Amino acid sequence: MSYHKPVLLKESVDLLAIKADGIYVDVTFGGGGHSREILSRLGEEGKLFAFDQDPDAKNNIPNDPRFTLISSNFRYLQKMLRMQGITSVDAILGDFGISSHQIDEGERGFSLRYDAALDMRMNRNKGRSAADVLNQSDETELIRILKQYGEIPRPHLAARAIISKQPLESTFQLKAAIENLAPRNKPGQYIAQVFQAIRIEVNEELKVIEELLEQSTAVLKDHGRIVCISYHSLEDRLVKNYFRGGHFDGSMEKDFYGNLIRPLEPITRKPLIPSDEEISINPRARSAKMRAAEKIIGEND
């Protein structure tokens, strides 16, 4: 089963500014592509810690004494690193979104192409499934999820359609409930947006990114870097706002002299995107946007 091909592989690891004896964190291990590239640039004294809550990721662990896989959600970054005896690191890499492996593994419920149970959990052993969310939420809650996480036009119509078909147990049942609402010119995009909204709610994807970004300022050494690859505007907006002003809502504060008060200094003024060549090889890279920032000296010390 193919895993998520590492997007912007060289570019992202270049931005980490790898030092031979440094300590690095890959918070989205997956198939291990980015981790292997980091390891290839580390010396014998270097260390790499990787996070992945999906049990399947254990199948991809490299045989390397410098590598440690932490089977946990990266929202527990600081806590889990401390358990490893690590209080500060040189750089953090996050490749957000869902992996090709999770999409292609039909029984997980992530894909529109397979009729499967509505699960959608990154960690199938924890939390509410997509079926739980769809069948236990009232119209108001469904409208919020669809509007906030899927940016669905007229979300009340989709919410009512879902409620009218409860209980929903499979991906094809969900598709059937909403397909008549999809625009004729882009039916697949509409359905994908609904699936995205439910998946984000199930896994609290935006919340965990916020928690990662906030903890990064405490974990990074002075001049330590964080590199984030996002795949839709909701993720990218959080990263952009936090890097620019230290707040997720986009607000900015300045000191008496007019200098921005923020814990990180953006390295990339505009997001970096994959080349046409990379997109032709890996079409799922087409929506990727990468941003990087560096910790300002003395922040959160």
State mean pLDDT over 108-122.
Answer: 82
Considering the domain architecture, whether residues 110 and 198 belong to the same structural domain is answered as: yes
Alpha-helical segments (H) within the chain: 9-15, 33-41, 77-83, 100-104, 130-136, 139-150, 155-164, 171-178, 187-203, 205-219, 233-245, 276-281
**Environment class of 5 (CB within 10 Å of its CB; exposed 0-12, middle 13-18, buried 19+):** middle
Return the pLDDT at 105: 58
pLDDT of residue 180: 95
In this structure, the answer to whether residues 246 and 189 fall within a common structural domain is no
| Angle (CA) 192 175 169, round 5° | 115
Does pTM surpass 0.85? yes
pLDDT at 2 over 50: no
Contact yes or no for 42/18 (Cβ under 8 A) = yes
Residue with tokens 């919340």: 207
- Residues 269 and 261: their CA atoms lie apart, in Å, by 17
| Same domain, yes or no: 52 and 191 | no
Q: Among residues 179, 203, 227, which one ends one of the domains?
A: 203
Residue 230 has pLDDT above 90, yes or no: yes
**Residue 159 structural domain:** 105-203
Q: What is the mean pLDDT of the chain?
A: 92
Same domain? For 197 and 79 the reply is no
Q: With respect to residue 63, please indicate whether it lies within any of the assigned structural domains.
A: yes
For residues 234 and 188, membership in a common domain is answered with: no
Domain membership of residue 2 (yes or no) is no
221/257: higher pLDDT: 221
Query: Does a structural domain hold residue 68?
Result: yes
Is residue 300 assigned to a domain? no
Residues 157 and 237 grouped into a single domain: no
Q: Which of 203, 224, 258 is the last residue of a domain?
A: 203
Q: Look at 142-151, 277-286, 292-301 and tell me which has the smallest mean pLDDT.
A: 292-301
Please tell me what DSSP assigns to residue 259: -
Considering its fold, how many domains does the chain have in total?
2
Asked, for residue 54, whether it belongs to a domain, the answer is: yes
Q: 46-100 pLDDT, tens per residue?
A: 999 999 988 888 999 999 999 999 999 999 999 999 999 999 999 999 999 775 5
Q: Kindly state the tokens that stand for 197.
A: 């909204």
CATH number reported for the structural domain that contains residue 223 in this entry = 3.40.50.150
Per-residue pLDDT at 126 exceeds 90: no
Picking from 151, 180, 203, the residue at the C-terminal end of a domain is 203
Percent of the chain with pLDDT over 90: 79
Which of 270, 250, 249, 152 lies closest to 201, judged by CA?
152
Q: Both 118 and 197 in a single domain?
A: yes
Asked if residue 209 has pLDDT above 90, the reply is: yes
Burial class (CB in 10 A: 0-12, 13-18, 19+), 298: exposed
| Whether residue 113 is found in the same domain as residue 164 | yes
Residue 273: Cβ-neighbour burial (10 angstroms; 0-12, 13-18, 19+):
middle
DSSP character string of 67-113: EEEE-S-GGGHHHHHHHTT---EEEEEEE-S--HHHHHSGGGS--SS
- Residue 185 domain-assigned (yes or no): yes
Quote the pLDDT of residue 256: 86
Query: Per residue in 19-55, pLDDT tens?
Result: 999 999 999 999 999 999 999 999 999 999 999 988 8
